Amino acid sequence: MSLYSKRGVSAQKEEVHKATRSLDPGLYPASFCKIYPDYLCGDDNWVNIMHADGAGTKSILAYLYWKETGDLSVWKGIAQDAIVMNLDDLLCVGVSTPLLFSSTIDRNMRLIPGEVLETIIEGTRSFFELMHSYGIDIHYLGGETADVGDLVRTITVNGTMTARWPKSKLITNQRIAPGDVIIGLAGFGQTHYEDSYNSGLASNGLTSARHDSLQKTYGARFPESYDSGLEESVVYIGPHQLSDTIRVGEESISVGQLLLSPTRTFAPVLVKMLNEHFSAIHGLVHCSGGGQTKCLKYLPGPMKLVKDNLFTPPPVFELIQQASGADAKEMYQVFNMGTRMEIYTTAEQAAPLLELARSFGVAAQVIGRVESSTTKSLEIITQGQHLHF
């Protein structure tokens, strides 16, 4: 059993998928988000989409960082995480603007004061202002903030995003086919719309990242930060403190800052791609839960994906792997490993998409291809290893 499983989480969410298998898959089963008929207005040419996601256990890292440093601004990043995990998923079905957003925040009031809530809400507002400057209108319709200390040890930050959208502008992944190439967009570095270096970790695999990277002392000092029913052997087993620094290029960045880099949105890039090159985009996959294996769930039929030119993983993933001793296969199943968005297109149409992404300061390259097969499968070739899924 992997460390990830021993901590009560699953990269593939097998039990979640089993529990929801009887639910309506929507109009397009291969699409990245469920798409439903236009129940709101009854127009056959339109659809309704509602999506829910959040920052996950990254909020616990923010809690530890805030308790150690007193830096409230870290909570703005958690607000961004909760939004982007919804926004970039919706972009994968072609939905861009206008969008409606509702937040859901559950806190333990004894440990999370009102100033934290205020910072999260301000972070939400300021992120929406940034998106508006790129022509992406997200309307904040409030939500639910509950004091539920009997249920929540610290705080959870989630959200729901919804839209009414024309069928003619949907990306359903039905056009993904053998012969396509896969463009990867990097989640690390610094884009033209970010004000600092982004580690690329995003908001998935943070349970492993936290426990594998941080020292045992965090469990003793902050017992509210983990499930007390876990085996002691998997709780905070790493070598680092949040204040330790790692060399990244010419900069020294703290472990806390690397682990808490706000999830990068690709909205400015993808909205322009969808507006200018819609017909060239056969499919979109956000490499979130399930890391580099996420793509297998959204193939429209039997085919093999070969990823043999992924980005070299940025330093945060090396830090986690060295601390945990996890093998490459587990790392690529749990984490995005630096390549966080996939665009499926033809080899002939790839060049303008690559150029557009790079014009925003987003590293982009062809990371692989789609091949004929009688089954759905994935092969990752990296650092001399062939990983099969």
* Mean pLDDT, the chain, integer: 94
Cβ contact 105:143 at 8 Å = yes
pLDDT computed for residue 25 by the predictor: 80
CATH of 3-196+260-388, one of 3.40.50.970, 3.50.50.60, 3.30.1330.10, 1.10.150.20: 3.30.1330.10
For 271, phi then psi, to 5°, come to: -60, -45
Would you kindly state where each structural domain of the chain is located, as residue ranges?
3-196+260-388
pLDDT digits (tens, 9 = 90+) for 322-350: 999 999 999 999 999 999 999 999 999 99
Q: Is the pLDDT of residue 237 over 90?
A: yes
Helix, strand, coil fractions of the chain, as percent rounded to 5 = 35, 25, 40
pLDDT computed for residue 275 by the predictor: 97
- Tell me the one-letter amino acid at 34: K
pLDDT computed for residue 19 by the predictor: 64
Q: What is the pLDDT averaged over residues 121-141? A: 97
Strand order in the sheet with 155-166: 36-37, 46-54, 155-166, 99-107, 138-147
Please state which of the ranges 243-252, 306-315, 333-342 shows the lowest mean pLDDT.
243-252
What are 369's two structure tokens? 């291809």
Which helix (H) or strand (E) is 221 found in, with range? helix 217-221
What are 64's two structure tokens? 């530890």
Question: 95 vs 47, 162, 280, 328, 389, CA distance in Å?
Answer: 11, 9, 16, 34, 30
pLDDT computed for residue 4 by the predictor: 53
pLDDT computed for residue 252 by the predictor: 94
Which helix (H) or strand (E) is 293 found in, with range? none
Q: What is the pLDDT averaged over residues 35-57? A: 97
Per-residue pLDDT band at 276 (split at 50, 70, 90): very high
pLDDT computed for residue 224 by the predictor: 97
Q: Is the pLDDT of residue 104 over 70?
A: yes
Q: What percent of the chain has pLDDT over 70?
A: 94
For the residues of 297-357, what is the DSSP string, one character each?
GG-SSSEEEEE--PPPPPHHHHHHHHHH---HHHHHHH--TTEEEEEEE-TTTHHHHHHHH
Q: Is the pLDDT of residue 238 over 80?
A: yes
pLDDT computed for residue 7 by the predictor: 61
